[in-house]
Chain A
Amino acid sequence: MESMILFGPQRLHPILRPELDRLGLSGGVAVITAGWQEREREDEELQKHLDRPLSNLCLHSRAEQVFSSDPELFAAHRARQDRLQAIQQLYRYRLDFVLEPARELMRRGGNPELLDWERDSAIEAIRLLDREHLMRMAEVHEGFERQWRPTRRASVADHLSELREIVDQSSAVLIAGGHVAVLLNRMRLFGVADMIREKPVLAWSAGAMALAERIVLFHDSPPQGAGNPEVLDVGLGLYRGLIPLPHAKRRLRLEDPVRVALFARRFSPDTCVPLDEKMSVRRAALGVGWEPGAGSLELTASGRVVPLGDGL
């Protein structure tokens, strides 16, 4: 099993290069910056930090080319996205109604014998809703893949050999953050998961999120709305057992034990890992579990944020 390292944001205090050095990866690297959308090619700062040859897969602009040359696929893609968004909206309605009782029960004091059962039940209701939602999203993707088989269409296949060649010649694949849904879509379109499975992967922020089994969006204090964490979609599934939380310090009320505990219990048995600046986490050898990297932390069911591994 090749190395998989997940990082927090890399803009202000990048720590990718020392990790590449530590892994002994001195050759050129492939990078995916599709989450940056139209700024995809603005990777000069990254290149400067890495100080080694960098090949950008340019998945965003390749996808634009595909969509303009294959209107049929583009229409199908749009229809799928509309359907996913509609399902997401319906899920949100239901989420509102199951999250608040759980929060209230977590806040409320009383007889633990009575309260614990109610709390467990309330959290299970959220978990059930999340599971159902993921199943529906997965069905939409499966249906799309079955019907359209994008990687077999000439418009997409034309790019694949070039992409494979870049990846094969690179010592590692780096996946930047940005817009998580755009990034995920582009990687899905070109079947990137299969291309990079046998490569060392270093991914940060949305890049780390897109590789997970499920993608969780979060912000505890948005200027609008209730700030309910929500499951967005199935991810590429290149790793298991971890929910990455980039920009956690700014986005989550980590000092609020109710929110922390509910987050941790809702997504258990996955470990919820804040990934702020200078933080990282490494997949353990043999692909089982995770090892602490720089400053790694985890959210715990007790409502505390502790060094990764201490929550066991």
Chain B
Amino acid sequence: MTLKIHKLLADGKPSKEAIDTFMEENPTFPLVEDTSVTFVYRGEADGVLLQHFIYGLETSQPFERAEDTDFFYLVLELPPQSTLQYKLNVIRGSEHRWILDPLNHERARDPFGANSVVRTVGSGRPEWTLPDSEARPGDLVRVSVQSEVFNQERHVVLYLPARFRRNRRYPLLVVHDGHDYLRFSDVKTVFDNLIHRLEVAPMIVALTNANERLTEYPDNPKHAKHITEEVVPVLEKDWPLRSEAAYRGLMGASFGGVASLSTAWRYPGFYGRLLLQSGSFAFTDIGSNPRGPAFDPVVKFVNAFRKAPGRPSERVFVSCGTYETLIYENRSMVPLLQATGMDVKYVEARDGHNWVNWRDRLRVGLSWLFPGPLWMVYE
């Protein structure tokens, strides 16, 4: 297959008119043609770099300039079903400007801003992540928990499923980095849709947040105590929740995955369901931790966990992107978790360490941990 960009460049230097026509014929970029992805930038610049976050590829890749034009391009080979987040680094003189791709409307937001997103063949945005007018919406309610552990009042946002009833008892899922899951992973829409479609049981979701996640999340006993001995009891007192472990879960991504696992490890049997996304499960077999001081408590925990995992939960869902540096650690974690006798499901995706990846894995994870009455209910 001849790529469109190669047709444009077939006769050497393309004319301004030919470039104009090319841009008009292809109103959005990058162009995805089979496994080839063509990025384009048009404008005054001394150079353009693609800045991306795929582990395994050079993170900074230079565009080529069509001779004597303001047209820059780069062709990247990516496997099908891949999702890539990126920015363009536009260089003028000594100035380097990292910008969103002006020719690409798909964006992913995160706590640091936003990235442009490109998806290869077979990797469209799942329709269940988009608002569905047929889905009854749940509610978000803010509740306060007075924490003796942290000596302060903490706030939790509760997701209550549509048609919530006080006379019914619900499973509870405690989510780490809940505010970010709401903002960047559309979890309210996801829960509304998956519950409406009967794929996930109606449940109450506690969206929690840490004040200092880098110190609270990596196996901090205070955090585990706060969640287990303060948050859960308050919620169980005030809301109609099932108290069996099979109906109580923890969820988190990255350091939030570590917090989920370490909390369950410190309270074995209390949480019957774990959803761990791209957990920062760094460990050392020998030598020191190369990831920096923030990871020291993580490595200490994961090394200890690997020595004596016990059986912290009943059912664990683990997901990780193959384009993130943590893929090795997550793959290593799976046989270890399985050996504890827990029921483990592991899913990989050609995606990075980001909130879109975590959002797009929620259907398979939640429906396995908290299956809804899909087969039995026809409303």
**A residues apposed to B, CB below 8 Å:** 9, 11-12, 35, 38-39, 177-182, 205-206, 209, 217, 219, 222-224, 246-247, 250
Assess the B371–A206 pair: CB atoms within 8 A. Answer: no
Give every chain A residue within 8 A of B378 (Cβ-Cβ). 177-178, 180, 205-206, 209, 246-247
Tell which of B165, B168, B364, B379 touches A223, judged by Cβ atoms closer than 8 Å: B364
With an 8 A cutoff between CB atoms, is B377 at the interface? yes
Cα A209 to Cα B377 with chains together (Å): 11
Tell which of A39, A205, A219, A224 touches B165, judged by Cβ atoms closer than 8 Å: A39
Give every chain A residue within 8 A of B55 (Cβ-Cβ). none
Among A178, A181, A222, the one with the most B-chain Cβ atoms within 10 Å of its Cβ is A222
Tell which of B163, B167, B364, B376 touches A179, judged by Cβ atoms closer than 8 Å: B376
Proximity bits, B330-367, A CB within 8 Å = 1, else 0? 00000000000000000000000000000000011001
Supposing A179-B373, A223-B367, A224-B371 touch, asked if A39 and B379 sit within 8 A by C-beta, the answer is no
Assess the A217–B199 pair: CB atoms within 8 A. Answer: no
Cα A9 to Cα B198 with chains together (Å): 15
Give every chain A residue within 8 A of B376 (Cβ-Cβ). 179-182, 217
15 further A-B pairs in the complex, CB-CB below 8 A; given A11-B379, A178-B379, A224-B371: A9-B379, A12-B134, A35-B377, A38-B168, A39-B163, A39-B165, A177-B377, A206-B377, A206-B379, A223-B363, A223-B364, A224-B367, A224-B368, A247-B378, A250-B197
Cα A120 to Cα B58 with chains together (Å): 56
Cα A43 to Cα B374 with chains together (Å): 22
In the complex, what's the smallest C-beta–C-beta distance from B91 to chain A, in angstroms?
45
Give every chain A residue within 8 A of B368 (Cβ-Cβ). 223-224
Assess the A179–B377 pair: CB atoms within 8 A. Answer: yes
With an 8 A cutoff between CB atoms, is B112 at the interface? no
Cα A250 to Cα B127 with chains together (Å): 12
Give every chain B residue within 8 A of A246 (Cβ-Cβ). 378
Cα A269 to Cα B108 with chains together (Å): 52
In the complex, what's the smallest C-beta–C-beta distance from B39 to chain A, in angstroms?
33
- Which 4 residue pairs spanning A and B have beta carbons closest together? A223-B367, A206-B378, A205-B378, A246-B378
Among B165, B364, B368, B378, the one with the most A-chain Cβ atoms within 10 Å of its Cβ is B378
In the complex, what's the smallest C-beta–C-beta distance from B196 to chain A, in angstroms?
11
